[in-house]
């Protein structure tokens, strides 16, 4: 991203986002933001944007290259299960495992 001209001080990694639900909730609760740009593979962006919309966060995604080769099947299986878990999390109002301290973004 830096090579593409994005200033390094405008890039924030979510080191405590242990799962997609955690990262999406942390957008509002920790980073105090109502919009986000998510950069990941398409299958993950679809899930993250769906969750963001559920939590009234404006989200767009930029898709990184998909995973192929020997990891491709494992990733697809994991994503299938993760898509089911998104609905389980929403239905049962699952909370993030760890929120942490507020992080100020200017």
pLDDT of residue 74: 82
19 contacts 46 by C-beta, under 8 angstroms: no
Judge residue 20's burial from the number of C-beta atoms within 10 Å of its C-beta, 0-12 exposed, 13-18 middle, 19 or more buried.
Answer: buried
Residues whose CB falls within 8 Å of the CB of residue 104, separated by 6 or more in sequence, listed in order: 32
Indicate the pTM of the whole model: 0.87
pLDDT at residue 27 tops 80? yes
The string of pLDDT tens digits covering residues 37-78 is 999 989 899 999 999 999 999 999 999 887 777 777 888 888
Domain ranges of the chain: 8-91
What DSSP designation does 96 have? P
pLDDT band, very low/low/confident/very high, at 81 (cuts 50, 70, 90) = very high
Q: What is the spatial distance between Cα 81 and Cα 77, in angstroms, rounded to a whole number? A: 6
């Amino acid at each position: 991203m830096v090579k593409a001209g994005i200033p390094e001080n405008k890039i924030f990694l979510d080191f405590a986002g242990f799962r997609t639900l955690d990262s999406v909730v942390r957008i509002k609760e920790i980073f105090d933001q109502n919009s986000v740009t998510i950069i990941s593979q398409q299958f993950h962006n679809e899930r993250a944007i769906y969750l963001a919309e559920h939590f009234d966060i404006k989200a767009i995604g930029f898709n990184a290259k998909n995973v192929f080769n020997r990891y491709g099947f494992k990733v697809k299986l994991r994503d299938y299960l993760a898509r089911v878990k998104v609905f389980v999390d929403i239905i049962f109002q699952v909370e993030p495992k760890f929120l942490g301290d507020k992080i100020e973004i200017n």
